Every structure is written in C-alpha cells, then in structure tokens.
Amino acid sequence: MRILGKYAIILMHSGKGYYADGNGIERELNAGDLILIFPEIPHAYGPLEDEDWQHSYVVFDGPQFNLFRNTGIINSNDPIWHLEPVDFWKRRFQEVFPPNPRVSKSTANRTIAQFSYLIADMSATHTEISQTPEDAWLDESMHLLSGPTDSIWLEPQTVAQRVGLSYENFRKQFVKRSGHSPAQFQKRRRIEHACAAIYQNSHSFKELAHELGFCDTFHFSKVFRQITGDTPSAFRKKAQGSPTE
C-alpha cells in the first residue's frame, strides 16, 4: 500500500478492479465506481488480473476539500461511491477537465469552483442511489431528467410514466428523496449543460436555448439568471475572464 499525501479521485469507465486501504476496507470495483483517495490513508487499487480498465483520474489538495471532509461530504470510511449512468458522470468529469484547457488564473479559479460543485453533486448522487432496490426508479428518473432522450428533454410527467408512477406520487417521492421537485432538478441540469457550453464557447445563446428545450432565448436567459444569478452574457464574460459592469 502507498500513502499519496494528497486527495485523488478515480472514476471507472469500464472493466473490473480492486481497492483496499489501511482502514481494512476491501472492494471489488466495476464500471461506475469512484475511488476517493485520502492524503494519509494507505491504499492500493488497480485492475483485476486479465482485466483492461478505463478511468478518469485527478489529484487535488486544498482547504476547501478539507472542509468537505469535515462536513461529511467526503468520508474516509466510505471511499467507494457508485455513480450511474456512467456516461453521464464521465461527461461531467470531462467538462470540468477538458483536454488542452487554457491556462490562466481565471481558468484555474473556475476549474476549482466547478470541481468543488462536481464533488458535492457526486456525493449527493451517491447518497441518493445507495438505496433499496425498491427505489431504483429514482436513479432512472434522474437519468431521464438529466439530459435529452433522442434529442428531446422529457417532461417530468413523461418521466413519471416511464418509471411507472402517477405524477402526484412521483413528484412527492422525488422531492422527499432529492430535496427538489422533478422540474427544479431538470432545470438545474439544463443550466449545468448551458454553463459547460458557455465555458467552452461552443454555442450561441439561441442554439443553447433550442438544444436545451427552452421556447426562446428570453426564457432561457430568465431561467439561467434564476439558477446562476447572472445573465448568460454576464456569465460568458466571467468565463472569458473579461470584466463585468
């Protein structure tokens, strides 16, 4: 076993592996499993014999992550999280750490903020989906609400039908388990997609509004400001490191 001296996250995309640490925790790993490495905890991990695994990996350190530990968002007694759907979290990870990023102080600050949010979101999702088999509908619901299906963002009522619940019961149970209504959850996911696209400067606001299922640019801008506190234009200026008025 080794001691890294820093935090690290490893997200498995495919294959099978193993994990063991100085706390006596031993696990077999599968696609969708996320390993949390803590600075002082001896650990070992890797692919099983004759297994070819694919993964994303990041090493990090800083007081904000110590705060996450102190508040229970990350816990050395719970170092393995399982996140589904795998492709969704792989994409979220890659949005925070794109290949060949621009190197600047403003870019570094934004990356830290995005990564901190990603860890918190992963932690919440791990908590939500570490439930009984009877609650598998919640994982499927979050998946359907978190992105387009055949280029269309499904209405919460349609998602309720897909998971076999009446909309009233679906909404009540979703709020109870996630803390948000299905519509609020989906709204935040849409704006997360928008923020990532604005960071990458890959879409016009009109294109984003259409792609994310908003009726027009005005409605998109209104919802964006509700969630982020900024208009899309102001957010883009900050993302580009430009001064705002």
Q: Is residue 219 predicted with pLDDT exceeding 80?
A: yes
Strands of 33-37's sheet, edge to edge?
A: 54-60, 7-14, 33-37, 80-82
pLDDT tier, 241 (very low <50, low <70, confident <90, very high otherwise): low
Q: Is residue 6 predicted with pLDDT exceeding 80?
A: yes
Domain boundaries, the chain: 131-245
| Protein fold of 131-245 | Arc Repressor Mutant, subunit A (1.10.10)
Cα separation, 148 vs 12, in Å, equals 23
Q: Residue range 115-120: average pLDDT? A: 89
54: Cα separation from own chain's centroid: 18
Helix (H, G, I), strand (E, B) or coil at 214: coil
Residues across the chain? 245
Q: Is residue 244 predicted with pLDDT exceeding 70?
A: no
Long-range contacts of 118-121 (CB under 8 A, 24+ apart): 118/92, 118/93, 119/9, 119/65, 119/68, 119/73, 119/74, 120/68, 120/73, 121/92
pLDDT tier, 131 (very low <50, low <70, confident <90, very high otherwise): low
Q: Is residue 37 predicted with pLDDT exceeding 60?
A: yes
Cα separation, 1 vs 21, in Å, equals 7
Question: Do 84 and 139 form a contact (C-beta atoms < 8 A)?
Answer: yes
